C-alpha cells in the first residue's frame, strides 16, 4: 500500500492543479471583439430562425432545424469539430467521466433477444445474482424480445438515475425468474486487461483515456509490480483516445520529471508545453513495448509518440490513425455540446500528429484512411513512403522517426486478413459460435468448473469433444450456416472451430480478461513484444539505437 500511495499522491496533487478535462488556456472572445460585420453575421442566423418560426407556411421543428444548421456549420471545418445533440450528451460525458448509472451488464443481442455476456463485478446486476447466459424477457413489465432490439434501446431501458429500480423477467435454463435491480454507478473500465503474461513481464490493455484511467493504470502497475513484473507490454491498439491529461500522467510513469510529453499551439492558442510530472522512480528504467494499430488515435498517439521520441519504448504494430487536433468542449443552455478544434498536437521531436485534411471535406479525409488499406500500407511496410521533409530525430539516441500523420512503429506487424477456414469465418461473422457457447456454458458450467480447477488447467487442457463439435455444427446448420453438401469438417476447420470455441468459453466461464489471455497465445504483436522483452539487450535495446 505504501508503494501505491507513493504513486497516487503526485497523481492527486497534479490532478487538482491540472487543466480541466483537456481544455487549453483559451478565453471566449467578448462581444466587443467582433467587428460590426461579424456581429451582423451572428445576428442573421438568429433572425432567420425567428422569421421561419413566425412566417413559414408550415409548422417547423425549431430544435431539429437548429441542430441540423449547427451540424452543417461544423461540417465545414476540420474533421474533428462536431455537434453533440442533447439526447447524446449524457452518453458523451459518461465516456469521459468513466462511469454511468445503470444495472451493469455486458450484453449481446441474439435473435432479437438480450443475452447477458457478463455481469460487471460489484455492479448492481451481479449483486442480485444475474450472470452470463441469462436472457432478459421484460424490463419493468415491458416485453423486449422480438421488437427489433438495438444497443441504444437497451441503454435507454437499463440506464437511469441512481437509486431507481429496474424489474426484470430473466430466462435461465428454461425457467423464468424475476429480479429487481437498483441502478447504481457502473464503471467503464479503461484498463480492462492486466496480468503477468510471463513471470517478469506485465501486460496492460488501455482502451480509452477517461477520468479514472490513470488511477486504474497505476493500480494495475502496482499489482504487476507486486507480482515481480520488471518489463511491460502496454497495449494501445484500438484506443481512440480521450482526455489528454491521462496520456501525460501515464507518460510520467516512464519519463523523468520535466520531460516534454507533448505541446500544442493554434491561431488563438500560443504554444503550451505539457511535461512529465513527478510519479516516482519505480518504472523509469523498466523495459517497455507499446502496441499500436491503425485505430490508435489522439491521446494514445500523444503517449506512444512521447515514449518513442525519448527512445523510452519500442513501438510495435502499424501506423496509428493520426488524430492530433485539440478540441475544447462547450455547452449550450439545453445541455447539448459542441467540440471545436483550437490547436494542434506536436510530439517532443516537433512531429505533427495530425493526418493532413482539407477544410469542409470530411469525405476526402475518410477516403485517405481507406486508401491506406487499398495501397497495401496495412500489409507491407514497403508500401509506406515518407519524404525527407518528414524526417525527425529522437531526443536521446537521435534515430530517425517520421511525421506526416500518426506514429510509425519501430517494428511493423502486418494486418492478418487471411483466415484459415472459410466455414469458421462465416460462423464468426454471424456470431453463431458465441451464441452456442453461451447455451453450452449455461448447461455445463458446474461440470466445467469441476474439471478445470484453475484457469491454467483450462488453458492447457480444454478441448472440444467430438460430440460437442457435432452439436455445434448442427446448431449452426439450423441457423443457416451449413457445410457444403457432401463435405465434412477438414482438419483446418476442426482446429479453428476448437480454437474459437475455447476463446468464447473462456469469456463466458471466466471473464473478458481471460478471453484475451487465450487470444494472446496466437497474437502476433504480443508474441513480438514478448520476444523483444525476453531478448532485450540483443533485440529491444538495439531498436532504440540509431541505424549504422
- Catalytic-role residue among 298, 300, 304, 336: 298
Q: What is the DSSP letter of 196?
A: E
Cell of 447: 461440470
Task: Respond yes or no: is residue 465 known to be catalytic.
Answer: no
Task: Respond yes or no: is residue 323 known to be catalytic.
Answer: yes
Burial tier of 54 (Cβ tally within 10 Å: 0-12, 13-18, 19+): exposed
For residue 367, CA distances in Å to 38, 167, 329 come to 34, 46, 27
Strands 391-393, 400-402: pairing is antiparallel
**Distance between CA 110 and CA 112 in Å, rounded?**
5
Could you tell me the end-to-end alpha-carbon distance of the chain, in angstroms, rounded to an integer? 46
**Distance between CA 66 and CA 332 in Å, rounded?**
12
279 contacts 223 by C-beta, under 8 angstroms:
no
Q: What is the DSSP letter of 520?
A: G
**Distance between CA 321 and CA 333 in Å, rounded?**
34
524 contacts 457 by C-beta, under 8 angstroms:
no
Residues in the chain: 548
Read off φ and ψ for residue 536, nearest 5 degrees. Answer: -60, -50
Pick from 301, 327, 274: which is nearest to 405 by CA? 301
**Distance between CA 291 and CA 304 in Å, rounded?**
9
- Catalytic-role residue among 135, 287, 323, 502: 323
Cell of 293: 494499430
DSSP SS3 for 167: strand
Residue 9, H or E segment: helix 2-17
Beta-carbon neighbour count of residue 299 at 10 Å? 29
Residue 519 CA from chain centroid, whole number: 17
- Catalytic-role residue among 309, 311, 410, 493: 309
For residue 351, CA distances in Å to 121, 344, 404, 405 come to 42, 11, 8, 8
Beta-carbon neighbour count of residue 48 at 10 Å? 12
211 contacts 96 by C-beta, under 8 angstroms:
yes
**Distance between CA 319 and CA 300 in Å, rounded?**
12
**Distance between CA 211 and CA 368 in Å, rounded?**
32
Q: Which residues are catalytic?
A: 298, 309, 323
Amino acid at each position: 500500500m505504501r508503494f501505491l500511495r507513493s504513486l497516487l499522491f503526485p497523481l492527486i496533487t497534479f490532478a487538482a492543479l491540472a487543466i480541466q478535462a483537456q481544455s487549453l488556456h483559451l478565453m471566449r472572445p467578448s462581444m466587443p471583439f467582433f467587428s460590426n460585420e461579424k456581429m451582423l453575421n451572428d445576428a442573421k442566423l438568429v433572425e432567420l430562425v425567428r422569421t421561419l418560426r413566425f412566417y413559414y407556411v408550415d409548422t417547423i421543428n425549431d430544435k431539429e432545424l437548429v441542430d441540423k444548421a449547427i451540424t452543417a456549420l461544423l461540417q465545414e471545418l476540420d474533421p474533428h469539430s462536431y455537434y453533440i445533440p442533447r439526447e447524446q450528451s449524457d452518453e458523451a460525458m459518461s465516456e469521459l467521466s468513466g462511469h454511468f448509472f445503470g444495472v451493469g451488464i455486458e450484453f449481446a443481442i441474439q435473435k432479437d433477444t438480450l443475452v447477458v455476456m457478463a455481469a460487471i463485478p460489484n455492479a448492481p446486476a451481479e449483486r442480485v445474482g444475474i450472470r452470463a447466459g441469462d436472457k432478459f424477457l421484460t424490463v419493468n413489465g415491458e416485453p423486449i424480445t422480438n421488437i427489433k432490439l438495438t444497443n441504444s434501446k437497451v441503454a435507454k431501458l437499463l440506464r437511469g438515475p441512481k437509486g431507481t429500480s429496474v424489474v426484470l423477467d430473466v430466462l435461465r435454463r428454461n425457467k423464468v425468474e424475476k429480479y429487481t435491480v437498483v441502478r447504481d454507478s457502473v464503471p467503464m473500465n479503461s484498463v480492462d486487461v492486466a496480468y503477468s503474461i510471463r513471470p517478469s513481464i506485465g501486460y496492460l490493455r488501455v482502451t480509452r483515456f477517461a477520468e479514472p484511467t490513470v488511477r486504474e493504470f497505476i493500480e494495475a502497475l502496482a499489482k504487476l509490480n507486486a507480482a515481480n513484473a520488471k518489463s511491460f507490454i502496454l497495449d494501445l491498439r484500438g484506443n481512440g483516445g480521450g482526455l489528454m491529461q491521462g496520456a501525460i500522467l501515464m507518460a510520467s510513469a516512464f519519463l523523468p520529471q520535466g520531460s516534454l510529453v507533448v505541446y500544442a499551439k493554434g491561431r488563438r492558442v500560443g504554444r503550451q508545453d505539457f511535461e512529465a510530472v513527478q510519479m516516482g522512480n519505480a518504472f523509469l528504467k523498466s523495459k517497455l513495448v507499446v502496441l499500436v494499430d491503425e485505430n490508435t488515435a489522439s491521446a494514445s498517439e500523444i503517449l506512444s509518440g512521447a515514449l518513442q521520441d525519448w527512445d523510452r519504448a519500442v513501438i510495435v504494430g502499424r501506423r496509428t490513425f493520426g488524430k492530433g487536433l485539440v478540441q475544447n468542449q462547450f455547452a449550450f443552455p439545453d445541455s447539448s455540446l459542441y467540440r471545436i478544434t483550437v490547436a494542434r498536437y506536436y510530439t517532443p521531436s516537433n512531429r505533427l500528429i495530425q493526418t493532413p485534411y482539407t477544410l469542409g471535406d470530411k469525405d476526402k479525409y475518410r477516403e485517405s484512411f481507406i486508401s491506406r488499406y487499398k495501397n497495401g500500407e496495412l500489409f507491407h511496410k514497403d508500401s509506406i513512403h515518407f519524404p525527407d521533409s518528414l524526417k525527425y530525430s529522437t531526443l536521446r539516441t537521435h534515430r530517425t522517426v517520421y511525421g506526416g500523420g500518426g506514429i510509425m512503429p519501430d517494428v511493423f506487424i502486418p494486418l492478418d486478413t487471411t483466415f484459415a477456414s472459410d466455414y469458421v469465418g462465416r460462423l464468426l461473422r454471424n456470431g453463431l459460435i458465441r451464441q452456442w457457447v453461451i447455451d453450452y456454458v449455461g448447461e455445463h458450467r458446474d461440470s466445467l468448473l469441476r474439471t478445470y480447477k484453475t484457469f491454467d488447467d483450462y488453458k492447457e487442457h480444454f478441448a472440444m469433444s467430438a460430440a460437442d463439435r457435432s452439436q455445434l455444427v448442427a446448431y449452426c446448420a439450423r441457423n443457416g450456416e451449413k457445410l457444403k453438401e457432401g463435405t465434412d469438417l477438414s482438419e483446418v476447420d476442426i482446429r479453428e472451430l476448437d480454437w474459437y470455441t475455447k476463446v468464447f468459453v473462456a469469456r463466458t466461464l471466466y471473464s473478458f480478461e481471460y478471453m484475451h489471455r487465450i487470444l494472446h497465445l496466437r497474437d502476433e504483436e504480443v508474441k513480438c513484444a514478448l520476444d523483444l522483452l525476453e531478448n532485450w539487450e540483443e533485440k529491444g535495446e538495439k531498436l532504440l539505437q540509431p541505424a549504422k
